[in-house]
Structure 1
Amino acid sequence: MELLTKTLFLCAALTLTNAAPAQQADAAVEEVDPSLPNRCEGLEFDAVTPDEKGITFFFKGAHLWKGFHGPAQLSNESFKELDDLHNIGHVDAAFRMHDPDNADDHDHIYFILDDKVFSYYNHTLEEGYPRQIEEDFPGIPAHLDAAVECPKGECGDDAVLFFKGHDVYVFDTTTKTVKTKSWPHLPVCTSAFRWLEHYYCFHGHNFTRFHPVTGEVSGSYPKDARNYFMRCPNFGHGGDYQVIKCSDVKLDAITADDTGKTYFFAGPIYMRLDTSRDGLHAFPITRTWKELARGVDAVFSYSDKMYMIKDEMVYIYKGAVHYTLIDGYPKSLKEELGIEGHVDAAFLCPNEHTVHVIQGQKLLDVDLTATPRSVTQEMPIPLSDIDAGFCGPQGVAVFKGSQYYKYQTAMLLASSRIIPRPHIITSEMMGCRD
């Protein structure tokens, strides 16, 4: 079960508390080599961009950093043509872009150096590049400061934001037209970064989060990037990582939404895995679901909504760029699902309308298309003390502490009288200690 393997490997992120927006699965503090630039000293980046696999690259001069942890390395080791063909030693701007109208097209990384554009796929320069900026992005000036993609739904239509001083050039990737805006209230961005539907302007060793349409800044900014986008000693949570024992691993819930994002819940934090583009990220649960500071008992997704169960209450959030609690909620389990009592786990299989709820050693089925909703079937299961359940294309998995059990279907979970061999979370899977 591919997702389960990925799930267990990534559970290490859930061992962190008060997770910051860094790739918290990285276990150690930034390593220092005195012969290389050290971003923990407070550098101003030339460019920041994710690649097609979701790994974020930070560029400074002739060097780059892969991800939120690790030492610097020469840029031309990963993108050799930037140095071989242009030889200017640094990148002006970089961004990742995808053509949503072309199903066969993949994510590409674009680098802009002076008046040239380099397009890479899988770290290989595409044929015909480098080109003049005007060829790919007519109306965009040379010698830019920063650039960032802005997909449809966040910027109206698919676009790229190009920054030069306080001017922002909004390039519509479909119509190839440009609108120019001035955002004097925003610092001059030396690099820009889109991350989990949020937009960041990097300036000096700080960053400011902004709205991609209005440029509006909400909250207290600037903030030091070392507290959020890298692991540095004496900054953020750089010294707070604790490697837990594999036998102490415990998940509260798992679900996947309609967009391909998978969510893992454990105590006061959650982990989001964007299987297609943006990698793994861990956060406090209140960052997205402020009403659930004490965590969840069970979660499932249905019809572009996320159902979150805590105690005997159901919270339903409408899915969009950000989850919002639907008016009138929370409601009682009895009112919403026709169930009373504590819920241990819940899961919904793809393209189905029946949620499977685990209470003790019972599996309860609820038809989500019915009004009012009620239990349509109740069956015993051979396992007790289940913590979480998940159903995907590869079948059903139920989690119990640091072990999980696999079944082909929910019916086999209920009908089986022999408990299958448990799969054990190991240090090789998730970096925990034996």
Structure 2
Amino acid sequence: MKLLTVLYLGLLLCLGASLPLGDVTSADGGAHDATLPDRCDGIEFDAITPDEKGNTIFFKGEHLWKGFHGPAELSNELFKELDDDHNIGHVDAAFRMHNPENHDEHDHVYFFLDDKVFRYYNQTLENGYPKPIQDDFPGVPSHLDAAVECPKGECAANSVLFFKVTHDALTGHDVHVYDIDTKLIKTKTWSHLPVCTSALRWLEHYYCLHGHNFTRFNPVSGEVSGNYPKDARHYFMKCPNFGHGGDYKIPKCSEVKIDAITTDEQGKKYFFAGPIYMRLDSHRDGLHAFPITSAWKEMINGVDAVFSYNDKTYMIKDDQVYIYKSDAHNTLIEGYPRTLKEELGIEGHVDAAFVCPNKDTVHIIQGSMIRDVDLSATPRAVTRDFPLPFSDVDAALCSQEGVDVFKGPSYYHYDNAFTLAVTRIAPVPEKITPAMMGCQE
């Protein structure tokens, strides 16, 4: 497991692209020209946005960084038209459009320079751009400070938040909430926020970046909960002596070995390996790994198996079961952990566990056996068990497409849980792919 820990810590906030630009090693994890800026020195970014592929792009002056690690490069080498007419040397604000009803706009990236807007897709400027901001976003002011997308469900409608300081202020913004469908604007004043020079939506949370710090805020009310500001170098880039810095590499798919995998009732898909977990459904924000304890603080020794049921996440480690509410805070339910015997009526090491959609049975794999436990019964106990055609399983997941059983860098696919239980010959194993786990070929 020590090897796995090293391999998977390499995923911690370092899945962005990097381009070597010279022969000087940067603090940010790559070789580059010594004249280029280093964001690990503590930079106040002009703009931040994800692109259509989930890579997060950071802008400062005439430079940008693509991803959470790697050296700087010139902005106009990737987006060559940005300086053609303006010679401004910076981007005021940027965001990725969330408008699934309009495929001509959805996932396209908008850059704002003075009173002009540029729209790109796949690093290509679209026809008709640049154009005045008012042509695309009537009522939105020029010389913006920051912008960020806000999908319906997180805001009242598919919206864009535009930040603009309208007077000489040390804190606070006028925030222009632009409704994408109606093109109407509501203006709010959030005087409690710092002056945001950039803003970012990342994994359904919203961040105001200011100086080398950030403050997380509610996109509807602007409310700030928690201890802020925090240093962005601990979270949004890989820097030595900050957060998860270090010279780690993304593992190859042939090296992948997971401990557990599950999908909750909100469709959030997680895998666990050693001390880390990753959201697999968050490809629009890029794939990012975090310590398990950052979300489930009691799980200090990793997990053996995880499954989701009735808006709760069941985490099994050794002979203990931890049950968490599947809410924003992953709250441990009072009275837990309890023993496997008390909670599920079983004993012994659990290799994997899964629940199929809209079912009340958890299928528990122990060695070369699969055991069914009715979660709707009280007390819970094994209702039936079956032998498996293999052992040493790492994890298993059930979805509408069937059941996948993971073993090392391979997995076995079954049409459903019943087929898994009664088939005596294992299917041909398939290889884990980069699309599944964010690993390298």
TM-score by length of 1: 0.81
Aligned equivalents of 1:316, 1:104: Cα separation in 2: 43
Q: Which of residues 169, 186, 206 in structure 2 aligns to 1:179?
A: 186
Residues 1:23 and 2:51 are matched in the alignment: no
Q: List alignment gaps of at least 5 residues for structure 1.
A: 1-10
User: Aligned pair in 2 of structure 1 residues 178, 26: CA closer, same or farther (>3 Å)?
Assistant: closer
Question: What is aligned with 1:113?
Answer: 113
Residues 38-87 of structure 1, C-alpha deviation per residue, up to 9 Å, x if partnerless? 32333221100001221100112222211012222222333233233544
Residues 1:202 and 2:209 are matched in the alignment: yes
Residues 300-341 of structure 1, C-alpha deviation per residue, up to 9 Å, x if partnerless? 234544332334444444435554445665555456545444
Aligned equivalents of 2:324, 2:189: Cα separation in 1: 35
Count of matched residue positions in the alignment of Structure 1 and Structure 2: 420
2:11–2:249 contact (8 Å) kept in structure 1: no
Aligned equivalents of 1:248, 1:121: Cα separation in 2: 34
Question: What is aligned with 2:56?
Answer: 56
Aligned equivalents of 2:401, 2:5: Cα separation in 1: 23
Aligned equivalents of 1:14, 1:159: Cα separation in 2: 40
One-letter identity of the residue aligned with 2:141: P
Aligned equivalents of 2:231, 2:72: Cα separation in 1: 19
Aligned equivalents of 1:26, 1:66: Cα separation in 2: 6
Residues 1:384 and 2:391 are matched in the alignment: yes
Aligned equivalents of 1:76, 1:319: Cα separation in 2: 44
SS in 1 for 2:194: coil
SS in 2 for 1:201: strand
Aligned equivalents of 1:230, 1:324: Cα separation in 2: 28
Q: Report the Cα offset of residue 196 of structure 1.
A: 1.4
Question: What is aligned with 1:125?
Answer: 125
One-letter identity of the residue aligned with 1:203: H
Question: What is aligned with 2:25?
Answer: none
Q: Report the Cα offset of residue 382 of structure 1.
A: 2.5
TM-score by length of 2: 0.80
Question: Which deviates more, 84-93 or 388-397?
Answer: 388-397
1:403–1:423 contact (8 Å) kept in structure 2: yes
Question: What is aligned with 1:268?
Answer: 275
Residues 251-294 of structure 1, C-alpha deviation per residue, up to 9 Å, x if partnerless? 22011234543211123321222354122111111221223233
SS in 2 for 1:363: strand
Q: Report the Cα offset of residue 139 of structure 1.
A: 2.8
SS in 1 for 2:29: coil
Question: What is aligned with 1:283?
Answer: 290
SS in 1 for 2:135: helix
Give runs of aligned pairs for residues 230-309 of structure 1, distance below 5 A: 230-239=237-246, 241=248, 250-309=257-316
Aligned equivalents of 2:409, 2:86: Cα separation in 1: 52
Aligned equivalents of 2:283, 2:266: Cα separation in 1: 10
Aligned equivalents of 1:12, 1:175: Cα separation in 2: 50
Aligned equivalents of 1:14, 1:364: Cα separation in 2: 33
User: Aligned pair in 2 of structure 1 residues 170, 426: CA closer, same or farther (>3 Å)?
Assistant: closer
Q: List alignment gaps of at least 5 residues for structure 2.
A: 19-27, 166-171
Q: Report the Cα offset of residue 379 of structure 1.
A: 0.4
RMSD: 3.7
Question: What is aligned with 1:8?
Answer: none
Q: Which of residues 175, 181, 201 in structure 2 aligns to 1:169?
A: 175
